[in-house]
Amino acid sequence: MAVVKGSKELQAKLLKKAAEATAQHGAVVTVGYTAKYAIYVHQNKKMKWKGKKRTGKRPDGSKRKGCYWDPQGKGQSQFLLRPFREKRKEMQAIVKKVFLKTGNITLGLFTAGLFLQRESQKLVPVDSGNLKQSAFTKVGR
């Protein structure tokens, strides 16, 4: 099994930020991926994402044509972080709109979280679909 250097430190930093947000705002929505290798794929900036040709049989014995990691050519590393940074204003507008309509900040954050999840799934490198299907959005940590 591959070891991701710095993953424990990264996880500790993210948990600290979540605790600070909870203390400051009282509401936290978490968006992430549950596949065990998600952080490796997310942080692997050196991988040749587009068009890595398949060679031989897969571990499950099947043979598939095409390319590993995103035959559509849209996959990339930091598939969760990039849309968060690039679509921040859109997510703020979603939170504001839902809050003004319902008075519920948690619902606004959850709706923006679902938006972020959908945008990140568009960028997830796909081989078997397991990583993309492991996406989640939940209230709380």
Higher-confidence residue: 7 or 120? 120
Query: What sign for the dihedral angle of Cα 31, 35, 39, 44?
Result: negative
Q: What is the pLDDT of residue 61?
A: 61
The residues, ordered by sequence, that sit 6+ positions from 108 with a Cβ below 8 Å of its Cβ are 94, 95, 96, 97, 98, 99, 102
| Residue 126: pLDDT band with limits 50, 70, 90 | confident
Domain-wise residue ranges, the chain:
7-139
* Average pLDDT over all residues of the chain: 77
Q: Is the pLDDT of residue 83 over 50?
A: yes
Are the CB atoms for 54 and 64 separated by under 8 Å?
yes
**Of 31, 35, 38, whose CA–CA distance to 114 is shortest?**
31
**pLDDT tens track for 21-40:** 566 667 788 899 998 888 88
Q: What is the pLDDT of residue 66?
A: 47
SS3 label, residue 6 = coil
**pTM (2 decimals)?**
0.70
